[in-house]
Structure 1
Amino acid sequence: MEAPFLYITTFFSLGILLGRFLFLPYVFLTLMAASVVVLFFVYKKGKNVSLLLILPFALLGAILTGFALNAPNPYERLDGKFIAIKGKVCDVKEEEGYAKYVVKPENLPKILITQYGGEYPKKGDIVEVRGIVSLPKPSSNPGGFDYQLFLRKKGIYAVMRIHPYGTSIIGRRANLFEEILWRAQERIKENFLASMPKKDAQFLITSFLGEKVLDDQILTQFRTVGISYITAVAGMQVAIISGFVLYILSLVHLTRYRAFILLPVLIFYAFLTGLNPPVIRAVVMASIAVIGATYGKNKNSINSLSFAAFLILLFNPLMLWDVGFQLSFVATLAILYFYRPIDERLFKLPSYLKGIIALNLSAQIGTIPFVMYYFHYISFVSFLSNIAIVPLVNIAIILSFLSAFLGFVFPTASVFVNYINIPFIELLFKVTSFFEKFPYASVNVFIPPVIVIVLYYIVLGILISRIELRKKKLAVAASFMVIALLFFWNYFVPKDLEVTFLDVGQGDATFVRTPHGRAFLIDGGGNPVFSNSSFDIGEDILLPFLYYKGVIKLDAVFISHTDIDHIGGIITVLENMKVDRVFIGVQKVEDQNFKKMMEVAGKKRVSVIFLKKGDKVEVDGVKVYVLHPDPGNLIEENPINNNALVFKMRYGNISFLFTGDIEKPAEEVLKESDLKTHVLKVAHHGSSTSSTPEFIEKADPQVFVIQVGKNSYGLPSERVVKYLKERGKLYRTDENGAVIVRTDGVKARIYPFLKGVKE
């Protein structure tokens, strides 16, 4: 095999995928032992065992992943309890108004602390923190963010929120290397901040040191023009630093010592940037390349890349689900395979231009499905922006590396280098702003189905394979035929009505997809347990879910009322997605949320239709009958909640009743309406002020759904929960995650997302 580690790492990764969904350690261990025995006997007979090596590595991946995901969590017995934990601070990230840091206690796994105000600790400090322990939640919506897995791959098993009085810095404990490393990081940051404009310094801290401190607006601009990768410390920075060091060594005729000089520099840089997987990958590859060049050994870049991936996954198999890891390795692999063919076909262009285009195009060929899947956009100006911006980034990274080095030996010269760097960074910002203004510079797209992504990479694999041209054409044609059939099936074949009661924490949001693929939302607000001050329900839950479902346009949005836990994310959706119509009840009170919604709807030219009792709306055979409010009988008590839009949604013989946050006064008014339903969205998150026995008896549902999250209001009421369980089947989004209802109009099937079982 030319690249044995490519095959080993591929099957090791497949084993990791298997281990996430199937935990059978003893079965896998037995199979692994048996495969090793067979391998030994086949080898003793002098036969080729290359392919047989693959199975043990796949089983090893499954075993390691199973234990990583299913290891006992000692914080489970502490969940929800107020405790004091003493430990060493491993990592700190300060934000406006709060800081997040990781604490490693002596006898427990790491815990993530969010501290609001006060004096924040530094890396290496010994602290005592006091607060309530919470376990991070797994993904609770289809296509949602798996916070539990995100933290688990960092070795973090629990979270805690504290205020200034909940922490005490009681000492410091760090070894010599840690102190050198952390002081180096602080000195470099202080150097940048002291001699450069804040925005320029933050760019270098982000793109050179890997600390995400750059302003969100600038990050959005980078994303729009297709250069967001420059803010992630990865192969580009390692390549630039390596090239610069090798160039300096060639000037002073020290190339024979390049391995002894460059490798310590790269290893220290990897530690300086936090040992991120993309940096480790780049350092391993660069190390193999420079050692091979020094000692006259031929290197296989694909094998080196695969070996780097194997090492990272062997120590932490959960890194397979790290976005940076995936993008880094896929982009590098694509460059190794496609750079030269593309470069050769651009022979009429200048060499520099050819290199930039070939590098950018080959990386995009490899990563575009991942970009669509994780970030839901495509940049149409990235080719032009990269041609203009990459040279500026190269200069900025070289000067920042030079500044960091000089900062330890000649601080005055370091400041001078920073002054030189400022015009290049400012020009980079201006060029980015110029390209951002292009029409359709970036377009939001839906998430491609996993099967389409797999077929895409199968096609790429076929194109770079050595099979004959006729067979290549047939295989590619077959793959495109499958994709076309999947598209036809998804968009033209009628299916069941799907109603998804989303888990948005403390709030309501429901997604409805009709049999012919039309889509609408009912409310969209909430506050997840793991949120922070910058969390936006629309940006972080609703839009990713909609893109995951293949939705790029909403036929309608129904808003029950304008409390933030019902409308908070809708405004973001209106700003970022095409919406045909907004339906809302006649308003008794026009609060700031209502005015903001009307302002955004007006700016986006979205029709706002005010509904009242007796109105009817139909979307693709799904009928909506408005039961409340009645303009002639608006309720004075708690007017926003009690005049909320209440309607019955019917498809065939199956009906759903949506009640917003109405309370007893509105339920009294509604008792005279036709409330009979199969599925009831329980009013006001299960509050004791709602769900009166008379109202529930009149509605007589078979299924109750409470949309609720962790809160300080005592929701849902224990009395209400007990009563509803006596009346029918109860689902709660805080326990079941999203509750998915599928119906053909005759029967309905319920799928609680976190349980994964049909009921």
Structure 2
Amino acid sequence: MRRSQIALVLALFFVAGAYASFLPDWTGFYTVFGIGFGLSLLVPAVWRLGPKRWVYLLATVLAIFACFYVKIRTPQPQANDISKYAPISNVIVRGQVVEPPSLTRSERAKFLLEVREINPSGKLNLKDISRNSDPATTSTTSTTETKSDEANKFVATAGKLYVTVPLIEVTGLRAGQAIELSGRLYLPSRADNFGAFDFKSYLARQGVFAGLSGRSLILQGDPPSFGEWWFISKIVRAHVMGAGVPEGSLLSSLVLGSRAVDLPSDLKDDFINAGLAAVLAASGFQVTLVLGSAIAISRNSSLKLQFLIGSLCLGGYLLLTGASPSILRAVVMGFGSLIGLVVQRRSRPVLGLVVTAVLLLLYQPLWIWDLGFQFSFLATFGLLTTSRSISERLEWLPPAIAELMSVPIAAYIWTLPLQLVVFGKLTPYSLLANVFTTPLVSISTYGGIISGLLAIIFVPIGAGIAWLLYPLLHWTIDIAQWVNTLPNANTNVGAIHLWQMLLAYALFMAIWLVPWFGKMQRWTIAFVLACVVLFVPNAIAQTTAFQVTLPAFNDVPIMLIRNQNQTVLINSGDRQFASFTLQPLLQKLGINRIDWAVSTDTQPDVSDGWNTLMSSSVAIAQFRDISLGVTPKPYQDLQQSLATAKTPLASLKVGETLTINNQVEVQLLNQSPDILKIKTGELSWLMLANADQKAQQVIITQKDLLPKLSANILWWTGGQIDPKILEAISPKIAIASATSVVEEIVNQFYEAKIRVFWTGRDGAIQWTPDKDFHTLRDQQDSRSPI
């Protein structure tokens, strides 16, 4: 037992050290050293039967090594990396496809390409053309060929590219295929908004530092004649043939994982919003079924044969699904169970799980940032440490039901703190959904595996089995969609701080390890305390928050104001911006309702943005518009949506003031061009949107309007401003919601000692009374490059 305790401490410290590597500069090393040294003094004094002091000191050294190891293994561009050529508007590259293409939300295909050659000019070398030309015409191009060879030749390069191309271009494309691509080479950008997905960092962790927006694709050479794609295609074809779409696609995802099959985006969203994302990812559950079936089939054979059959099944399943972190974790633990079976020794699953995590991080340390790895590890840890205790406390239920409920409850408890840190969202019906769907998913997965094996032999036989599973799959989809219709199915509670997550996990560990918490009452006290740590600080902070956020979006002014539990949103952007930027921001801020929505534009794409927010369960209490005179079809749809939601809709008149509370006001000073004056505490903002030179002349002619323009902050879209208007405003700060700003006006502001921000350079901009103005770029630059 003592050896297992030592191994567990060392492994946990290694994982913690790897996770601490994200802290900027040397903070991670100092943090690991301080915590480790403190534990070495405290824990042996309290837990006398536990590991000795030298174990914690050794574990601290191991954690520091993990910090260094992650930083050393962080990918960096090579000297001849293709990213050195970016950006280029027209380029031709040659290389080999790394992974099978998959579908993006914009209905394009995406894949990774291992690059071998690049033609920076974007023109084919005439030698390449003449190789496939008629010999009679080759001689006529020899003179031109000599002149253009140097300009148009391919040069050797290296690195990976993130490629997107039209869906029709990838027909028949497989991993390992050599191709030639033409398109636009670009450098991935960092996140421009708070809470948005950092695409650049995501690709960098995979060793990808450039992207290619492809226009055309040419296959080179013969495609691979055999591989895992051959098995996958037969399995997916049988499932879809038998159960149809989307039920057949869901069955393939249950068996192979969502990476092996493209599920419709709306179906993915239904499962994710219902708290059933784990259903779509091949993980420990599927590996357990595969290994259990292999052992059951070979139970009358020798131990060595059982080990061989189990290993072949695990290896084959790994090849089919791909080496994702969750699958590798489950497969490595499965091999550990097989070894324990052969040597006839009782396994210690918790120790095996932690050691497996260490082995995987040694293989690929950057998986420490992979959410699939983190959630899979925590969910499995919860099942091993907590599910039995929960089942015992559900003794008032029938044993089968208590066991069924304990599994999702344990996984939910242990993943909740991480979910709140990353997403700031709570899915209160997740437990209910998992309890209802677990029997359906279990039977469907078993049936899907059998169907897939038979489909490899003869597709129609596999399709027949899939046809029998159709009702179970259809009911699973119905449950996910039904859960999302329940009140408050997705509740934004706000992203918690790192200290809250760590303290909550410390309490969970205490419940598991400390005998004092074994009694029901003390266990309940610790769990309630953990919930207080997770939710109460955010609830208090939201009641006192005073914050103004200016997101970055395509030269459109957007403002989000929070004060005294009141939320004001001026403009929403288009559908994509509302879905991928505003929704995550609202989640992390804990905002479920827009008290006042103000729209200064009725363009179709802007109307789509408001509709997207409303469809995501964000309620709008009051809607005000400045330009109700123009009502294109999409805007009419928005009006209908507002009417259905019983949201009051009215036009904001010139001179009218919306008084949100004693610190926030919004007033319309002028229409065409639209001018808003916004009060936030002691500051006054003047929003000057879409004011070209002609519109500015209209403003200047209104002598009674000019005195009203005076404001502390000028908020405009980056264009030139007439000196008379600028003099009337007399701002101290100028903020442009624009990708670029006229250089002349920037110089003019600098000479007048006016602070200048713009979203194209600084990313999203935020103001709070205590921190004044700060930008997303300031925040990103203070972090570690990892």
**Structure 2 residue 116 is matched with structure 1 residue 87:** no
Give the one of 721, 729, 734 matched to 2:755: 729
Q: Distance in 2 between matches of 1:623 and 1:412?
A: 66
Q: Distance in 1 between matches of 2:680 and 2:242?
A: 65
CA shift digits 1:270-311 (9 cap, x unpaired): 221121111111111111012102211221111111122112
**Structure 2 residue 570 is matched with structure 1 residue 560:** no
Q: Distance in 1 between matches of 2:693 and 2:558?
A: 22
CA shift digits 1:393-429 (9 cap, x unpaired): 1222122222222333354543433333334323433
**Structure 2 residue 230 is matched with structure 1 residue 222:** no
Give the one of 52, 59, 64 matched to 2:64: 59
Deviation at 1:328, TM superposition (A): 0.6
In 2, are the aligned partners of 1:117 and 1:163 still within 8 Å (CA)?
no
The corresponding residue for 1:326 is 374
Distance 1:187 1:721, change over 3 A: farther
Query: Which amino acid letter does the alignment assign opposite residue 93 of structure 1?
Result: S
Give the one of 227, 230, 234 matched to 1:187: 234
The corresponding residue for 1:699 is 729
Alignment of 1:208-219 (within 5 A): 208-210=255-257, 211=259, 213-219=262-268
In 2, are the aligned partners of 1:542 and 1:569 still within 8 Å (CA)?
no
Aligned residues: 703
Deviation at 1:383, TM superposition (A): 4.0
Instruction: Identify which of structures 1 and 2 has the higher relative contact order when contacts are C-alpha pairs closer than 8 Å and 6+ apart.
Output: 2
Query: Which amino acid letter does the alignment assign opposite residue 96 of structure 2?
Result: K
Alignment of 1:91-490 (within 5 A): 91=99, 92-94=101-103, 97-106=107-116, 107-120=157-170, 121-164=173-216, 167-172=217-222, 179-210=226-257, 211=259, 213-250=262-299, 253=301, 256-374=304-422, 377-433=425-481, 438=486, 440-466=488-514, 468-469=516-517, 486-487=537-538, 489-490=540-541
Query: Which amino acid letter does the alignment assign opposite residue 292 of structure 2?
Result: G
Deviation at 1:316, TM superposition (A): 2.5
CA shift digits 1:552-610 (9 cap, x unpaired): 22221222212356554333223321222122214342223432332222121222232
User: Please, which moves more after superposition, 10-19 or 70-79?
Assistant: 70-79
In 1, are the aligned partners of 2:385 and 2:512 still within 8 Å (CA)?
yes
Deviation at 1:172, TM superposition (A): 5.0
Q: Distance in 1 between matches of 2:623 and 2:281?
A: 39
In 1, are the aligned partners of 2:183 and 2:214 still within 8 Å (CA)?
yes
In 1, are the aligned partners of 2:271 and 2:480 still within 8 Å (CA)?
yes
Q: Distance in 2 between matches of 1:625 and 1:48?
A: 62
Q: Distance in 2 between matches of 1:193 and 1:487?
A: 46
Q: Distance in 1 between matches of 2:82 and 2:559?
A: 33
Deviation at 1:441, TM superposition (A): 5.0
User: Please, which moves more after superposition, 294-303 or 577-586?
Assistant: 577-586
SS in 2 for 1:511: strand
Distance 1:138 1:226, change over 3 A: same
**Unmatched segments (≥5 aa) in structure 2:** 38-51, 117-156
The corresponding residue for 1:648 is 677
Give the one of 764, 768, 775 matched to 1:738: 764
Q: Distance in 2 between matches of 1:65 and 1:159?
A: 25
Q: Distance in 1 between matches of 2:73 and 2:599?
A: 43
SS in 2 for 1:102: strand
CA shift digits 1:301-357 (9 cap, x unpaired): 111111221122223322222221111111110111111112223335443322211
Query: Which amino acid letter does the alignment assign opposite residue 462 of structure 1?
Result: A
Deviation at 1:110, TM superposition (A): 1.4
Query: Which amino acid letter does the alignment assign opposite residue 490 of structure 1?
Result: A
In 2, are the aligned partners of 1:614 and 1:625 still within 8 Å (CA)?
no
Q: Distance in 2 between matches of 1:480 and 1:119?
A: 51
Q: Distance in 2 between matches of 1:282 and 1:584?
A: 54
CA shift digits 1:73-98 (9 cap, x unpaired): 74553232243222111121135742
Distance 1:669 1:218, change over 3 A: same
In 1, are the aligned partners of 2:97 and 2:177 still within 8 Å (CA)?
yes
**Structure 2 residue 702 is matched with structure 1 residue 668:** no
Q: Distance in 2 between matches of 1:439 and 1:512?
A: 26
Distance 1:261 1:737, change over 3 A: same
The corresponding residue for 1:636 is none
**Structure 2 residue 590 is matched with structure 1 residue 550:** yes
Q: Distance in 2 between matches of 1:192 and 1:328?
A: 26
Deviation at 1:5, TM superposition (A): 4.8
The corresponding residue for 1:633 is none
In 2, are the aligned partners of 1:244 and 1:398 still within 8 Å (CA)?
no
Q: Distance in 1 between matches of 2:107 and 2:77?
A: 34
Distance 1:391 1:481, change over 3 A: closer
Give the one of 560, 570, 573 matched to 1:522: 570
In 2, are the aligned partners of 1:124 and 1:172 still within 8 Å (CA)?
no
Query: Which amino acid letter does the alignment assign opposite residue 656 of structure 1?
Result: W
SS in 2 for 1:267: helix
Q: Distance in 2 between matches of 1:222 and 1:72?
A: 37
Calculate the TM-score normalised by the size of structure 2.
0.81
Q: Distance in 1 between matches of 2:618 and 2:264?
A: 24
Deviation at 1:160, TM superposition (A): 1.6
Deviation at 1:702, TM superposition (A): 2.7
Distance 1:67 1:609, change over 3 A: farther
Deviation at 1:483, TM superposition (A): 6.3
Q: Distance in 1 between matches of 2:428 and 2:539?
A: 27
Q: Distance in 1 between matches of 2:684 and 2:402?
A: 61
Q: Distance in 2 between matches of 1:143 and 1:405?
A: 43
Give the one of 589, 610, 619 matched to 1:570: 610
Q: Distance in 2 between matches of 1:752 and 1:267?
A: 48
SS in 2 for 1:103: strand
In 2, are the aligned partners of 1:447 and 1:547 still within 8 Å (CA)?
yes
Distance 1:25 1:577, change over 3 A: closer
In 2, are the aligned partners of 1:22 and 1:66 still within 8 Å (CA)?
no
CA shift digits 1:646-672 (9 cap, x unpaired): 211123442211123233333233333
Q: What is the alpha-carbon root mean square deviation over aligned residues?
A: 3.4
**Structure 2 residue 129 is matched with structure 1 residue 78:** no
In 1, are the aligned partners of 2:424 and 2:496 still within 8 Å (CA)?
no
Query: Which amino acid letter does the alignment assign opposite residue 676 of structure 1?
Result: S
In 2, are the aligned partners of 1:560 and 1:566 still within 8 Å (CA)?
no
Deviation at 1:548, TM superposition (A): 0.9
CA shift digits 1:42-99 (9 cap, x unpaired): xxxxx97422222232222222333455734745532322432221111211357421
Q: Distance in 2 between matches of 1:561 and 1:114?
A: 32
The corresponding residue for 2:126 is none
Give the one of 618, 634, 637 matched to 1:596: 637
In 1, are the aligned partners of 2:552 and 2:760 still within 8 Å (CA)?
yes
Q: Distance in 2 between matches of 1:293 and 1:454?
A: 36
SS in 1 for 2:587: helix
In 2, are the aligned partners of 1:334 and 1:365 still within 8 Å (CA)?
yes
Q: Distance in 1 between matches of 2:524 and 2:549?
A: 41
